[in-house]
Amino acid sequence: AQKITQTQPGMFVQEKEAVTLDCTYDTSDPSYGLFWYKQPSSGEMIFLIYQGSYDQQNATEGRYSLNFQKARKSANLVISASQLGDSAMYFCAMRGGQGGKLIFGQGTELSVKP
């Protein structure tokens, strides 16, 4: 069965520091995609970054990077130079199963301290 696991229910980080949010996945499909979404308190789901299973390099989008370790089945999100506006829930998701649906983890609540 396909599964996403986020083991950190909540995390704190000091403003301007880097933070890593953990995500491990389980799938038997050779082709898959991994996503990170941000959900602020207002509720919307904001796409941050994508990593394909065949991508040779780690994905980067501005201050976001994805530390993809295929053998370990991990896809951790690294946020550099944290900002107060980064405080939110962060969800790791994997594309798989029915119609390309996204399978979500439980989320990590990140709080950035001034």
Partner 1 sequence: DADVTQTPRNRITKTGKRIMLECSQTKGHDRMYWYRQDPGLGLQLIYYSFDVKDINKGEISDGYSVSRQAQAKFSLSLESAIPNQTALYFCATSDGQGYTQYFGPGTRLTVL
How far apart are the C-alpha atoms of 25 and 74, rounded to whole Å? 6
Judged by CB under 8 A, does residue 34 bind partner 1? Answer: no
Q: Which of 34, 35, 66, 87 binds partner 1 (CB under 8 A)?
A: 35
- Beta-carbon neighbour count of residue 113 at 10 Å? 11
Other Cβ atoms less than 10 A from the Cβ of 35: the count is 23
Q: What are the C-alpha distances in Å from 68 to residues 17, 36, 88, 106?
A: 21, 12, 22, 19
Span 42-101, contacts to partner 1 by CB under 8 A: 43-47, 50, 52, 91, 93, 95, 98-101
Cβ-based nearer residue to partner 1, 17 or 88: 88
Part of the chain binding partner 1 (CB under 8 A), chosen from 16-24, 33-41, 61-69, 72-80: 33-41
Residues that bind partner 1 (CB under 8 A): 4, 33, 35, 37, 43-47, 50, 52, 91, 93, 95, 98-102, 104-107
